[in-house]
Structure 1
Amino acid sequence: MESKNPHVSDHLANERTLLAWIRTAIAVIAFGVAINRFSLFLMEINQVVPEVRAAANRHVGALGAGLVALGIVMMVGALWHYLRVSRSIDAETYRPSTRIMMVASAAIVAMGIVALVWLF
C-alpha cells in the first residue's frame, strides 16, 4: 500500500531529530539541576568545615541555573526548527539552514574554550 504523503520518511527523520534534541535538552537541564544542588552542598560544607576553600566554587550555582536556562532555550529552538522544517517539507521548499548550524557550532566551540580556560 502506498502512502498518500510522499514525504513520510522526511517527516519521520524530522521527528527523530526533534526527539534527539529533547533528550539533549533534558540531559542539560538535569546536569544543571545536579550542579546547582551540589553548589548547595559546597556552601553547607564550607559552614561546617571553614578551612575547606569553597570560594573558588561560588559561581557553581549560577552555572547550574545557566545550564537549566540553556536546556530550555535548546528545547524552544528545537521545536521552532522542527515546525519550520515540517512546513518546508510539505511545501517542498526545504533548504538546510547552514546559518543555524554555524551559530550553534560557534557557540559550542566558544563554551568549550571558556571551560578549558576555567579549568586551568
Structure 2
Amino acid sequence: MDTPKKNPHVTEHLANERTFLAWIRTAIAVMTLGVAINRFALFLMEIHQVLPEVRHLANRHVEKLGIGLVILGIVMLVGATWHYLHVGRTIEDETYRPANKVMVGTAILIIVVGGSALTWLF
C-alpha cells in the first residue's frame, strides 16, 4: 500500500490561507464602506435639493471618496491574491523571507492617510 506523501509545510500553507482570507474580509469591508459613502453622498445631494438651507452638508467630493474606496478594495484583493500565490510558491521552495519593508511601508502609509483624515476632520 502506498500512503500519500505528507507535505511538511501544511501549517505554513494554512497560515498563508488564513492571511489571505483576512485580506479578503478587509477588501470587502473597504468596498462596502465605499458603497455606503457613495450612497450617503447621493442622499446629501437629494436633501440639498429639498432643503437648500442645509447646503453645508452637500459635499460633492464625498461621492469620489466612495468610488476611490471601492477601487482601493479591488486593488487590495488583487494584491492579496498575488501575495498568497507568491508566498505559497516560496513556502514550497523553502525560500520564504518575510517582507519587512513592505509591512513597514504599509504601516507608514496608513499612518499618513490616517493623520491626513484626522486633520481633515478638525
Cα offset for 1:56? 6.1
> 1:10-69 CA deviation, whole Å, 9 max, x = no partner?
000000000000000000000000000000000000011000024662211011011111
CA distance in 1, matches of 2:107, 2:99: 13
Structure 1 residue ranges without an equivalent (≥5) = none
Alignment-derived partner of residue 14 in structure 1? 16
Q: Which has the larger radius of gyration?
A: 2
Instruction: State the TM-score, normalizing by the size of structure 1.
Output: 0.94
Instruction: State the TM-score, normalizing by the size of structure 2.
Output: 0.92
Verify the 8 A CA contact 2:35 2:67 in the aligned structure 1. yes
* 3-state SS in 2 of match to 1:37: helix
CA RMSD of aligned residues (A): 1.6
CA distance in 1, matches of 2:66, 2:117: 14
Verify the 8 A CA contact 1:42 1:54 in the aligned structure 2. no
Moved over 3 A (4+): none
* 3-state SS in 1 of match to 2:33: helix
Alignment-derived partner of residue 95 in structure 1? 97
Q: 1:57-96 to 2 correspondence within 5 Å?
A: 57-96=59-98
Alignment-derived partner of residue 115 in structure 1? 117
Total equivalences in the alignment: 120
